[in-house]
Chains A and B, each alone.
Chain A
Amino acid sequence: DAGITQSPRHKVTETGTPVTLRCHQTENHRYMYWYRQDPGHGLRLIHYSYGVKDTDKGEVSDGYSVSRSKTEDFLLTLESATSSQTSVYFCAISESREAFFGQGTRLTVV
């Protein structure tokens, strides 16, 4: 899996609680991304990073924030989780043409 680790792999949380998902890479790739996967929608980009402390919004960024303080780590935070954020979250990394994906985090908000 190209040296990408997502944690946790599964999480159940209550509405209104904060949640942080972590993506760790060992490839020293410049670009990192967070996508969410929902039935019928494929994967949609939440936020991405093009370097340490350099991040930008994707297509579905509302309700999410990110941070990248080190090249190898990209954190996705849901400040106050809602049921609509129940999804499978994928981290991806890229240096040029190819993007490689982590195994995903299944998040359930109850």
Chain B
Amino acid sequence: GEDVEQSLFLSVREGDSSVINCTYTDSSSTYLYWYKQEPGAGLQLLTYIFSNMDMKQDQRLTVLLNKKDKHLSLRIADTQTGDSAIYFCAESNNAGNMLTFGGGTRLMVKP
């Protein structure tokens, strides 16, 4: 079945850039997503990219997709303490938008 992998933890200093990486195995993935989860809250959709794109930028967020290597990354520029959260990568390959999630990367931003 599909598998989505992420590293568990990332620590950066405030003002630096953060790069969170994700790999997936399903070559038929159509859309790839990044969600943010703050403590005690639900998941907030940050951005998503269609599989025929290789980059998408939205303010401080840049998503890079290497479809050949099945590698997705999320870059957060000028990381702030409010960016501290768990970030989930997810993929979908169908119109019903069922998502397969990675295990999440906990981002810690140090002042």
Contacts and interface: CB of A to CB of B under 8 A. Distances in A.
Interface of A: 1, 31, 33, 35, 40-45, 48, 50, 58-59, 90, 92, 94, 96-104
Interface of A is mostly: strand
Interface residues of B, number: 22
A1 B103 contact: no
Given A102-B42, A103-B41, A45 B99 contact: yes
A100 B97 contact: no
Interface of B: 1, 4, 31, 33, 35, 41-45, 48, 88, 90, 96-104
* Majority secondary structure of chain B interface residues (helix, strand, loop or mixed): strand
A94 B103 contact: no
B101 A97 contact: no
B96 A43 contact: no
B103 A100 contact: no
A98 B98 contact: no
Given A50-B96, A92-B43, 13 more contacts: A33-B98, A35-B101, A40-B103, A42-B104, A43-B43, A43-B101, A94-B96, A98-B48, A99-B45, A99-B97, A100-B45, A101-B42, A103-B42
